Structure 1
């Protein structure tokens, strides 16, 4: 299954549109939105006919209407999705990896730092697609596309728009 991963659009829908128009996104079957801003996740769900799994970011609370984290079982993998601010991702990924382990996830997806990450920690594949609209690690925004198959390691591509 092909999974798209977006984060940190901060109200700028044109970057979501650019990600959706990217050739690598054409066969995405489900989108993960790792927060900031909840209305952007709603927009993504409106303009695509694919499922969008979404969580709140630090700019969506207090009182946000989305959960702080979600788990999703996709193609034999369990994904822990969060924005990351509640797990201190700006200071390291160990708390995030532990939260993923605690729920039985083999993949953790987060945002918040606006810096793309693809690493393995405590047997958890940790992914941050960077920011689609306000990157801190490059000139252009980014998102990820991940291919998931049962009993196989995820294949992940970082894509710049």
Structure 2
């Protein structure tokens, strides 16, 4: 299973379409909110999206839980879980819904971390990154419970120093 994960694109349109085309081989595309685009727009049509604090289209859901091969994935923006202060609330939500992968945004800080067998992925921001200069997105490749997260800048250049390979909880 291969996933494209983006977040916090804040109105970018051509860039979303370009990234979709660049990674047309993925099984699913996830947008973790703050697209600032309507859910039925051509840019968002291929994405499983959620509502961020800057999204005004009420047809987006706040959270979604997706079965992705061996994984159960919680997708949310993160603002409702106070992710800028602590990961604890989001970790509790992951446990509550049985997720072993969590995709979220809001902080604009790219990163991936395994906590108690749950993989947390923030793809960063495609428009306004924090803590690094690159505007980023992520690709998650899963083979059973083995997972690899790779980060890319908006031009498609791989950022090897950010890669994480881990084993998910079953």
TM-score range normalised by the length of the shorter chain: 0.7 to 0.9
Does residue 1:124 correspond to 2:118, yes or no? Answer: yes
2:126, 2:114 → 1: CA distance?
A: 22
- Selected match of 2:27 from 23, 29, 35: 29
Higher-helix-fraction structure: 1
Match of 1:160 in 2: 153
Match of 1:3 in 2: 3
Aligned residues: 153
The alpha carbon displacement at 1:38 in A equals 4.9
Normalising by structure 1, we get a TM-score of 0.86
The alpha carbon displacement at 1:155 in A equals 1.0
Match of 1:44 in 2: 43
Paired residues of 1:94 and 1:121 also in contact (CA < 8 A): no
Instruction: Pick 1 or 2: higher relative contact order, CA cutoff 8 A, min separation 6.
Output: 1
The alpha carbon displacement at 1:79 in A equals 0.2
Alpha carbons of 1:17 and 1:40: their partners in 2 closer, same or farther (altered >3 Å)? farther
Match of 2:87 in 1: 93
1:145, 1:17 → 2: CA distance?
A: 16
CA RMSD of aligned residues (A): 1.8
